[in-house]
Structure 1
Amino acid sequence: METKTTKRVGQLRLSPMASAVATAILGMSLPAHTQQAPSPATAQPSVAKPSTAAPSAPPPKPVSSTAQPASSASSSDQPQLERIVVSANRRIEKLEDVPQSISVVGKEEIERNNIREFEDLTMLAPALTISTGTQVGTNSINMRGIGSVSNNLGIEGDVAVIVDDLPFAQPQQAFKDLHDIERVEVLKGPQSTLFGKSAIAGAVVVTTAPIGAGPMRGKVSTYFTSDREYRVATTASGRLSDTVGIRVAISKTDFRGLLHNLTNDSYTNGSGGTNFSGKIEWSLPNDLNVSFAGFYSDSKSTGNTSVLTYIDPREGSLIRNNPNLTNTIIFRGITPSLQNKDVRLDDESSLTQKDWGGALRINYLFPSGSPLANHNLTSITGFNGNDANDKRDNDGHDAVIALYTPLTNAAGVTGTAASGINQTAKINGTSYIKTITQELRLVSPDAGNFRYLAGLWYSNTALDRYYLRGIFGIKPTNYTNYETTSDIRNVAFYANSTWEFTPRHTLTLGGRLNQETNQYSFTTISALASTAPANTPYTPYYAYTAPKNEARAFTGKAAYAYKIDADSMVYASYATGRKGVAFDMTSGANNRNVFAFMPLAAETARSSEVGWKANLLENRATVNVAVFHTNFKDYQASSTQTFSDGSSASVLFGIGGVQTRGGEIDIRAQATKNLTFSTSFAYTRARVTDWRYGACFGGRTDCGTNPPNPANPTAAYVNGANFVMPNAPRHNATLGVEYTDRLGSLRAAYFLQARTRSDVQGNINQDPVQRRPGVTVVDAGFSLASSNNKYKAAFGIKNLFDTQYSSGGQGGVVGTLFAPTGAASSANIVQQGWKPARDAFRYYSVRFDVSF
């Protein structure tokens, strides 16, 4: 009979595998008898403190939603990490007890790295990336390389964002300040069972800070950078009485931008906003708890402008070789290079949002002796409104093209004389989103071998979109003016259970039955595509209302876990996901042929994952390893199609198959009393598996039309199987190190944060010009705090080695295409640009915190 050996560390029994990994992680740690329990200042800052009332789970009893320290793994004096808790199963659990891959960014890590916006989270969570569009409102959130590749508001995102149990209806709502945050959970892989249909690739669950346990206390924080960013925030939280607690948080942020607009001496590619949130909680008799949380934000982002990095040195001119529009005039004062920060724009490119909402939470704890003793019944009633305006300088320069362009009348006839219209070509779109949600959730007690929850969900989201692009009568500006609406109602029943059928074996099962109803309308006010044949008249007013669409679908998940010991497990899981049908809310729907292709079929996913999770050496180290494989069917996208009447337009379509597979590892360790580190690594291969008529970029030589694409017989195509998904780095990793010490009566902390990724493809059509090279960025800093932590000052350097890199727009042409003087318009002058990342140029920061 085989003999199984174990190794003891304190009172903890480790298997040989766990022992080997723990030894490798902490090979340089001090002997046990020299270790001391860390003070609050020296505890690992990169993990989240448990909160007994995280929005994703009801409190165990109706009392204050105060963050409580987790119990230690043992009573020894060794330094320890704080326990990481998550709400992935809609109840508060230790990270190592949940059989799925999760990354957690805690409050201390957010503060230390000065995380302000949602996009900043990608610096700490390698599985999470952001794809930037031509406007901030078209940015997409990607998980494991999968996210929406369309700028169509009618296509939902693949990654859900949930803040205190309220889901965002559109990804654009996430691109603003992260305000008063306690922790962020990055849930990888399909999460449709517990978080709804927009979580087909994953979910980002944001938990805001809880109400304090004691008397009212406050904090004021200020932050300034050498490149003109500032932040001011204040919070007040505590108990007004034994039964009432409140929390109020206010912040103001502003970053003028990286790029200097020479036209009007302003700045772009910046962001800022004003944020307010408040919470109040009542603990009532008879085990009843009532709370209300409200929020309001007014934000503006001037991002996604590309800057010129290269232009063919030959003299060139714009449309019709007009001598008034040479590149030396258009880009006067600009020196193209990777160091260039100058642009010329006559219109602002920005996304402004007003976002408001709130949630009423009522929790009832069933008394002992009742049939549902110690169960929590929670009702959450939520509402959210978002008014957004997205603008863009549509030609990327400050020349007034309309002045030199002949008029095209409503019948499509173009004159010969210049119009003389002194009007700029721009995009101006507005959207109004209103969401109402209602959830009723029953959660069993945490104790026992069988735990479960069941819930009912209702939501209704109404979206109105108004869009104006270009100048009527100036055909090259691609004029369009339309209005479109969408109304989506969801009703669902979901359940999840965990059964420890033996002390070491656990089975988790979950399911969701969802009923979705969609209503859609599109109204063309007027439109004329710049590519339309000569003498094509403007599209007249036309209103279309689609038949009501109803669909019912089931998604589920299953996981088996084997407990190696009390704090480690291996697991295998399987999950399905689904994203609802889609309707076209872009200018493509001005062509009535498009309506025959709607609604676009739902996108589905099937995912398998195996992993190992361990809390080692009496809570001095944690290791989380996962290997995953996910297949997506009918991946929602859009492409140009030609119709039988000879016209063409962008049409929604589903790519037959997309796949992502790879592995991830997260390690956190308290190596010594003073030294902690954390590292995360993601290996991802996200690619297309089935795309018979793949898209071609300009100049691709292996594209053809034989046999013709039935949907677009004249268009060239290439088999898109094995195309790499955009913005999906194969390797992505982070490393954080912190060392704490005493300087007299002060507590000092020194940190180093590094991140690196491999090169990424910028477009699903595999255009090599849009490929972005890999990059490594290092940040450093230190902080000083008083012994009672009342005062704290922190100093940082972002991008220590001043490594220039872009977050998008790589290879993108800036402005309207030039042609060499005297040449046909098809012989274009080559221009290239990029969108520099927020920290593409080194800067310095200082932060001051005062608690009272």
Structure 2
Amino acid sequence: MQISKTRYISILLAGVAAFPTMAYADDQNPQGGLSDIVVTARRKVENLQDVPVAVTAISAAQIQRYDMTSLEKISTQTPQFTIGRASNGSGAQLTLRGIGSSASSIGIEQSVAVILDGVYYGQGRVINEGFLDLQSVEMLKGPQALFFGKNATAGVISLKSAEPTKRAEFMARVGYEMAGREVVGEAVASGPLSDTLGIRVALRGSRMFGGYFDNAGLAKTYSTYDVATGVTTSHYAPPLTTDNPGARALLGRVTLQYKPTNRLTVTLRANSSMDDNDNNSWNYVPYACANPNGTFGINPAIRCSKSFTIYQNAFPADLAGTNPYSRRDGGLYNKYRSWAVTGQADYSLDHVNLTLVSNYNKNVNQWACDCTIVSAPDPLSAPSTEHSVFSAFSTEFRAQTRFDAPVNLMAGVLYQSTKRNHTQTGSFGGVSDSSAPAAMRYLGYFKRSETSGETITSYAQAEWKILSTLTAAAGARYTHETKDSYLKQPYVNAALQFLFPQNQAVTANQSWDNWSPEATLTWKPTRDLTLYGAYKTAYKSGGFSNSGFVSASTLPSDVAFNPETAAGFELGFKSTLLGRQLRLNLAVYSYLYKDLQVDFFNASTFAFITTNAGGARTRGIEFEYEYAPRAVEGLNLHGSVNYNRARYTNYIAPCYGGQTLATGCGVGGLSFHGADAQNLSGTPTAVAPEWAGSLGVSYEAAVSDKWRAGLSVDSRYSGHYLASAFGKPNSRQDAYLSVDASVRLKTSDNRYELALIGKNITNRFIVGGAIDAPNSAADTLGFVNMPRTVQLQGTVRF
């Protein structure tokens, strides 16, 4: 389904123009109308329409309507927020307003911070988490350092899980998704254990008997030259013909809440997530070939196409079970495990609220990958494995005053310690060594890296009510951060040691200090109108590329990189009109980003380089509306129009794969870390459509005394963009319109419900990120989002 940008925007604006002009008094018809939306965008409970921040809020009802139990599912409902799932490196590319982070380095943290129950989860692997039983989701756009700390330069996704209820409630749900042949089960039990103690237990399990992507791998061989005997051996790598990802997941959370008095609330949450699938690169599609005939450079048997088809192989039998972390049957896989415990204590004095939040979380990610992706023929092959462990402990204390006075204060301190332990292996270069230990025999390299970090921050804000309708706020966050890292290859096949020295370590002891100030002026002339202006800054942590290589020429500056910063302005208004039936919000912004963190492969030195380069500026306008007429109970119309101009400012960038002098590579002697470079200053950033928007409608009404029916349709429009961070023309994602819809039938007491949920029912091919294809750099691989899915779901509550 194709639709032009002009046509889609005209539909959105026509929807606004169609709203009735007469106002309704609040007491004329108590049915219908808008509900207040509560957010915590400034670490305190506020009405969405009062907070001077651009926020898109998603309620528990909306989450349930589209079974939004992962970040990828949430992104389908939020224009300008795009996720590209990656097989290795950081595991994801999260992009908001055209600002995101490369997925190819595990050391680069995300520009979009993910907050769960007040705790920061910044690693890209967080997309593997299952966020079950959510109470709300808030997307805060633009820099958010003051209240959320480091790595919130592009924005924040804040998720809050549901709390124990005052009376006993139980829910059971089963579903079947037809495209992936996935069975889903979910159960929630909540209620009081005593007058002061409540509990909530939530479980969700799923098993997929198929997949979203067809795996059409072709049979191939991988030949190895034994450096100990001089014998060359061919190994058969069978094609994978099962659909991917074949996912299995089990998620659980237990929440205890203790309220001995009206002043004190103590909440303890413990959750665990298990996510397995049959391929860590199940969404890597060769969608753009450099060859005019559309065939892949290193494997002409494969044609590039915008289809949900991948081409990958199992490990050869000799390597299976021998290479560290490989499966004995040679199958590909990704195994993710996470655990977390969060404790929060809230205590209210007469004029001060005190909050203490402590968290420990750990995740382990392990995979086996056919990392040439395209059934590459002999001698090209890269059966690789990885085992990566990340853990973090944090504790935060803050105090907020609530005096009946013109000035109130908020202040806090936070301590965080982190550790990443990273191991990776690769059968590479067509070599083996029968004299090496059995686990190393078929390896080209065995790589180890660690990073230990500490962060100490303090922050404060003062709010001054200048007039009854005018409030000024100013504050700053100070961050001191250290990271100590090393990277080395404890084993390298003798034939490859000219490229990758064995046991040669690269180390870095890094330290940074940052001040991130913020100031806001808010004018509220009436209860239903808020106007604001803000100056904001943000800081994105520097780091160390644990997933890089140590080559013969590698320097610490090749893998250790500095922080990225952001600063700029935002103006906006929020209004509630027509007797609280119509919500209109508008934001205008301009932000400058400096020292962009960049990861690229330098073919001349055969090494990944992670460094800082250039800057970018985003300017835009965002308009959101929601209409819930009292004259038609149960009807809700909503939508948004977003214009965003994200451009590199002064960016001398690496050349993209296959780029020539004629297309700008090396013109004028430009170079980037010893490699030919191009000038991308003034060009769009990656995954940055100029126009994006949404349009939706939901309606629920009684169909009898005992039954109610509901229908919702939500569309998301995106203009075209380049998915490559280096301006690669064939990485273009065309403009698209995706549509989600759900139909529900439930009893009037909400006890029984049957739903049909369709996601991306227009079956759009959507690329959330792109990389140069291994060994065929002129061709492009895309991180492709899910195709059409349809789920039948039944729920019972009692």
User: Do the aligned residues in 1 keep the contact of 2:150 with 2:541 (CA within 8 Å)?
Assistant: yes
Q: Residue 789 of structure 1: SS of its match in structure 2? A: coil
Partner of residue 573, structure 2: 612
From 492, 501, 523, the counterpart of 2:488? 523
Give the Cα–Cα distance (whole angstroms) in 2 for the partners of residues 727 and 109 of structure 1.
26
Deviations 1:729-784 (A, max 9, x none): 11111111012222112111122111111111011221111111111122333211
Aligned to 1:542: 504
Aligned residue among 416, 440, 444 for 2:401 = 444
**Alpha-carbon displacement from aligned partner over 1:531-572 (angstroms, at most 9, x marks no partner):** x8xx936522223433x3332211111111111311211111
CA contact (8 A) 2:470 2:524 kept: yes
Per-residue CA deviations over 1:641-667 (Å, capped at 9, x if unaligned) read 59xxx8453322212211111111111
Query: Contact (CA 8 Å) 2:551, 2:606: kept in 1 or not?
Result: no
- In the alignment, structure 2 segments of 5+ residues that lack a partner are 1-12, 217-238, 316-330, 433-441
State the match for 1:501 in structure 2: 466
- 1:654 and 1:226, CA in 2 relative to 1: closer, same or farther beyond 3 A? same
1:179·1:251 contact (CA, 8 Å) conserved in 2?
yes
* 433-442 vs 120-129, greater mean Cα deviation: 120-129
Distance 2:77 2:259 in 1: 37
What's the offset of the Cα at 1:831? Answer: 6.7
Q: Structure 1 593/698 Cα, relative in aligned 2: closer, same or farther at 3 Å?
A: same
Counterpart residue number, 1:223 = 175
C-alpha distance in 1 between matches for 2:648 and 2:590 = 14
Equivalence for 1:127: 80
Residue 365 of structure 1 and its aligned partner are, at CA, apart by: 2.2
Q: Which residue of 1 aligns with 2:757?
A: 796
Verify the 8 A CA contact 1:197 1:577 in the aligned structure 2: yes
Hey, what does 1:63 align to over in structure 2?
none
Q: State the match for 2:644 in structure 1.
A: 684
Tell me, in whole angstroms, the C-alpha distance in 2 between the residues paired with 1:571 and 1:186. Answer: 18
Question: Which residue is equivalent to 1:279?
Answer: 255
Q: Structure 2: how far apart are the matches of 1:124 and 1:723?
A: 27
Q: Is the 8 A contact 1:694 1:717 kept in 2?
A: yes
Shift of 1:352: 2.1
Report the secondary structure of 2:243's partner residue: strand
* Equivalent residue number for residue 732 of structure 2: 771
2:370–2:383 contact (8 Å) kept in structure 1: yes
Distance (Å, rounded) in 2 between the aligned partners of 1:23 and 1:666: 12
Which has the larger share of strand?
2
Equivalent in 786, 793, 797 of residue 838 of structure 1:
786
Distance 1:765 1:435 in 2: 33
* 668, 685, 690: which one aligns with 1:725: 685
Deviations 1:87-117, CA, capped at 9 Å, x for gaps = 0110000011111111111111111122232
- SS of the residue aligned with 1:258? strand
Q: What is the correspondence of 1:624-773 to structure 2 with a 5 Å cutoff?
A: 624-640=585-601, 647=605, 649-671=607-629, 672-700=632-660, 701-703=662-664, 705=666, 707-709=668-670, 712=673, 715-744=675-704, 745-773=706-734
**Quick one: which amino acid aligns to residue 369 of structure 2?**
R
Matched-pair contact (CA < 8 Å) for 2:542–2:564: yes
Q: Which residue of 1 aligns with 2:323?
A: none
Structure 1-normalised TM-score? 0.79
- Corresponding position of 1:420: none
Change (3 A) 1:248 1:764: same
88-97 or 738-747, which moves further after superposition? 738-747
Aligned positions of 1:358-397 closer than 5 A:
358-366=341-349, 373-397=350-374
Q: SS of 1:718's equivalent?
A: strand
Please tell me whether the aligned partners of residues 557 and 611 of structure 2 are also in contact (alpha carbons under 8 angstroms). no
**1:687-736 per-position Cα deviation (integer Å, ceiling 9, x unaligned):** 211013553441441435465446545x3322110221111111111111
* Equivalent in the alignment of 2:419: 462
| Pairwise CA distance, 1:226 | 1.8
In structure 2, relative to structure 1, the CA distance for the partners of 1:555 and 1:220 (3 Å cut) is same
The DSSP-based 3-state class of the residue aligned with 2:565 is: strand
1:401 matched to 2:378? The reply is: yes
Rg bigger for which structure?
1
Gaps of 5+ in 1: 1-20, 34-72, 320-325, 367-372, 406-423, 818-827
* Aligned residue in 1 for 2:213: 259
Distance 1:327 1:493 in 2: 57
In 2 relative to 1, CA 397–694 (structure 1 residues): closer, same or farther, beyond 3 Å? closer
Residues 158, 200 of structure 1: 8 Å contact kept: yes
The amino acid of 2:597's aligned partner reads Q
Displacement of 1:474: 2.9
Same amino acid, percent of matched pairs = 23
Note closer, same or farther for the CA distance 1:400–1:781 as it changes in structure 2 (3 Å cut).
Answer: same
> For the Cα contact (< 8 Å) 1:160–1:199, is it kept in 2?
yes
How far apart, in 2, do the equivalents of 1:273 and 1:76 lie?
46
Residues 346-381 of structure 1: CA distance to partner in whole angstroms, max 9, x if unpaired? 255553211111112222222xxxxxx242222222
Structure 1 pair 399–758 and aligned structure 2 pair: CA distance change class (3 A): closer
- Structure 1 CA distance for aligned equivalents of residues 771 and 95 of structure 2: 21
| Partner residue, 2:320 | none
Correspondence 1:847 to 2:793: yes
Instruction: Give 3-state SS (helix, strand or coil) of 2:677's partner.
Output: coil
SS of the residue 1:717 aligns to:
strand
TM-score by length of 2: 0.85
Asked whether the equivalents of residues 564 and 596 of structure 2 are also in contact (C-alpha less than 8 Å), the reply is yes
Specify whether residues 127 and 23 from structure 1 end up closer, same or farther in structure 2 by C-alpha distance, changes over 3 A only. closer
Q: Deviations over 1:410-461 (max 9, x none)?
A: xxxxxxxxxxxxxx63221111111011111112238654433211110001
Partners in 1 of 2:618 and 2:494 — Cα distance? 37
1:345 to 292, 313, 317: 313
Kindly state the Cα deviation for residue 604 of structure 1 after the two structures are TM-superposed. 1.0
Rounded Cα–Cα distance in structure 2 between residues aligned with 1:23 and 1:782: 22
CA shift, 1:270, in A, is 5.2
Q: Distance in 2 between matches of 1:190 and 1:832?
A: 31
Q: Distance in 2 between matches of 1:93 and 1:638?
A: 39
Cα distance, 1:260 vs structure 2: 3.1
Task: Name the structure 2 match of 1:295.
Answer: 271
CA deviation after TM superposition for structure 1 residue 473, in Å: 5.2
Contact 1:135 1:304 in 2 (8 A): no
Which secondary structure state, in structure 1, belongs to the residue aligned with residue 488 of structure 2?
A: strand
Q: Which residue of 2 aligns with 1:306?
A: 284
Instruction: Tell which deviates more after alignment, 438-447 or 661-670.
Output: 438-447
> Structure 1 residues 519, 740: closer, same or farther in 2, change over 3 A?
same
Q: Which residue of 2 aligns with 1:99?
A: 52
1:510 aligns with 2:475: yes
Shift of 1:158: 0.9
Contact 1:684–1:728 (CA under 8 A) maintained in structure 2: yes
CA contact under 8 A between 1:85 and 1:93: conserved in structure 2? yes
Aligned-pair CA distance for 1:318: 8.9
Q: How far did residue 292 of structure 1 move?
A: 0.9
